[in-house]
Structure 1
Amino acid sequence: MSAPITPLEARGLSQRFGRKRVLRRVDLRLDGGEIVGLVGANGAGKTTLFSILSGLMAADEGERRLGGQAVDELSLELRARFAYVAHRPQVYAGLSARENLELAAGLRASVGAETLPSDQALARFGLSDAADRLVGAFSRGMAQRLALARAFAARPEVLILDEPFTALDRQGRELLAEILADERARGAAILLSSHDHEMLARVADRILHLEGGVIAGEVRRGDDDPDGERFRLAALALWSGPAGAAEG
C-alpha cells in the first residue's frame, strides 16, 4: 500500500444563507488511504460542506488546509490535487465521452498535472463502447459514470464525491465500490455521501453524521471487526434517528 499522503483539514467552517445557519464551526480531517462517509438529512448541509471543501464556495468562517497550507492560497498546481463530483453530473452534452475527458486532461496539463489516458479512464468505468458517442444521448447512469471517470482519471490526492452511487445500476455500484477500494490503496483521501446506507457502510472506514450544521456523531471500523458487521450495525444506528429517517 502506498504511504499515506497529506490530509485535507477543515477547521471551524461556518456558513449562513440569510438567517439560516447551515454549518456551525465544522472540523474535519481526511487522511490519505481512508474513505470517510458523510450522512445527514436532506438540507443538513452536506452539499454546502462539499462545495466549501472543494473550493467552489467560500465559507463565512473557518479554513481548509492541504498539507498545512491554506487551500484558498494554493497555486493552480496544488488545486489540481483535488477532484469533486457533484450530485448532478457536470459534463458537456455536446461533446463525446472521450472529448469530455480530453478537455479536462488538457486543462490539467496546462498546470503540469498528469492524467490517465482517456481510453484507460473510460474502460475503467465500463464506457469504452460509448467513447465516441455524444454525452447528450447518455442515460443518467452513463453520465454519472463519465463524471466519475473524469475525476478519477486525475488521480487526485483528495476525492470529494456527492452521492456518487446515484443512478448507477447494481453493476455500476459494485464497480464503483471496487474502484474506491483501489483509490484508497493508492493513498487517496476520499469523502463521500450516499443515501445507499448499506453500500456506504461497506466501503467506508469512518462515517460522520451531520445534523444541525455540526458533526453530531461518528463511527469507525475496528480491527477486531473483520467482516465489518459491528461497524455496519453501528453505522445504521447512527442515521436511524429522526434526522436519518428524513433522508431520501
Structure 2
Amino acid sequence: MDALSTSIIDLRDVVAVYNGYPALAGASLSVEKGEIVLLQGPNGAGKSTLLRLCAGLLPVERGTAFVLGCSVQNERERIRSRVGLLGHNNGLYADLSIADNISFWASMVGASQSEIDAAMSRMGIDGSLASRSVGNLSAGQKRRCALACLIVRRADLWLLDEPHAGLDAKGRDEIDAILREASQLGATIVVASHEIERAQHLATRNVAVVAGRVQERS
C-alpha cells in the first residue's frame, strides 16, 4: 500500500481460498476511516470470506491486501489485535459467563474495570444477566455480549457478518445505534447483511459482492 494512503482497508485484485474453494476472485476494495460500508450479495458470493480475510484469518493467494496499514499476507497477528470480527458464532466462549467473556477480551488490551462496566452498561447488561453462561443466552443476548467485547477491545475496525440476524425490531435498532456511535468515535465498520433496507440507512456506502468480486453500488 502507498505509504501516504489513509485507507483502513486496501484490497487489490485479491484471490483467496476458503475450504478449498476460491471464494474471492480478484476482489478490490478501499475503505476509509470512519466509513460504515455495507456488503450486499447472495449466499456464497464471498462476503464472509472477505470479512475473514480483513480480520487476518485468511491468507492472500494472489493480489495485495492491507488492513490498518498491515499486510494481510505477512502481518495477520498485528491485524487480529486491532480488528473485531462478529461472525455467525459471535466469537464467544459458551461455557463462560457474559462477564468472564468480556473480562477476557478486556485483559487482552489492558482495558480497565471502568471500561468493562461502561461497555456492559452501554449494552444493557446488568448484574444478573452478566453472571449467566453464554451457552444459555438468546441470540440477542449473545449479540449484546459480543458487541460489549468489541467495545472493550478498542477495535479500530469492526467487521460484522449478519449482525441483525435473529433479532427483533428493538434489538436491531440497538445494534444500529451502537454502530453509529462507534463510527462517530472513530471506528471503521464493514457490515455484511441481508437486511438491505435497514443496513442501507445505516451505511455511508454500499458495495455488492458478486462471484468473489466487489462492485460499487450507488
Rounded to whole Å, the distance in 2 between the matches of 1:116 and 1:158 is: 22
Correspondence for 2:37:
36
Report the alpha carbon displacement of residue 156 of structure 1 after superposing the two structures with TM: 1.5
Correspondence for 1:64:
65
Contact 1:54 1:84 in 2 (8 A): yes
Report the alpha carbon displacement of residue 114 of structure 1 after superposing the two structures with TM: 7.4
Correspondence for 1:13:
14
SS of the residue 1:7 aligns to? strand
Rounded to whole Å, the distance in 1 between the matches of 2:87 and 2:139 is: 13
Correspondence for 2:196:
197
Distance 1:202 1:58, change over 3 A: same
Matched, 1:174 2:173: yes
Between 18-27 and 177-186, the greater mean CA deviation after superposition:
18-27
1:46-85 aligned at under 5 Å gives the runs: 46-74=47-75, 79-85=80-86
Q: Which protein shows a greater Rg? A: 1
Correspondence for 1:96:
97
Correspondence for 1:105:
106
TM-score, length of structure 1 as denominator length: 0.77
In structure 1, what residue type is equivalent to 2:147? L
In structure 2, what residue type is equivalent to 1:197? I
Correspondence for 1:161:
160
Correspondence for 1:232:
none
In structure 1, what residue type is equivalent to 2:150? A
1:76-155 aligned at under 5 Å gives the runs: 79-109=80-110, 117-128=115-126, 129-155=128-154
In structure 2, what residue type is equivalent to 1:188? A
TM-score, length of structure 2 as denominator length: 0.87
Question: Over aligned residue pairs, what C-alpha RMSD do you find?
Answer: 2.3
Report the alpha carbon displacement of residue 26 of structure 1 after superposing the two structures with TM: 0.8
* Structure 2 spans left out of the alignment, 5+ residues: 1-5
In structure 1, what residue type is equivalent to 2:122? R
Contact 2:59 2:72 in 1 (8 A): no
Rounded to whole Å, the distance in 2 between the matches of 1:92 and 1:189 is: 25
Rounded to whole Å, the distance in 2 between the matches of 1:114 and 1:72 is: 33
SS of the residue 2:194 aligns to? coil
Report the alpha carbon displacement of residue 58 of structure 1 after superposing the two structures with TM: 1.2
Distance 1:18 1:124, change over 3 A: closer
Distance 1:116 1:182, change over 3 A: farther
Report the alpha carbon displacement of residue 169 of structure 1 after superposing the two structures with TM: 1.9
SS of the residue 1:106 aligns to? helix
In structure 1, what residue type is equivalent to 2:165? T
Distance 1:79 1:6, change over 3 A: farther
Report the alpha carbon displacement of residue 185 of structure 1 after superposing the two structures with TM: 1.0
Contact 2:8 2:31 in 1 (8 A): yes
Contact 1:39 1:194 in 2 (8 A): yes
Report the alpha carbon displacement of residue 98 of structure 1 after superposing the two structures with TM: 0.6
Superposed CA deviations along residues 63-101 of structure 1, whole A, max 9, x for unmatched, are 321354324444856642211111222211221101001
Contact 2:70 2:79 in 1 (8 A): no
Contact 1:115 1:154 in 2 (8 A): no
Question: Sequence identity of aligned pairs in percent?
Answer: 31
Distance 1:17 1:71, change over 3 A: closer
Rounded to whole Å, the distance in 2 between the matches of 1:210 and 1:194 is: 11
Report the alpha carbon displacement of residue 115 of structure 1 after superposing the two structures with TM: 8.8
Figure out how many residues of one structure are paired with residues of the other and give that number: 212
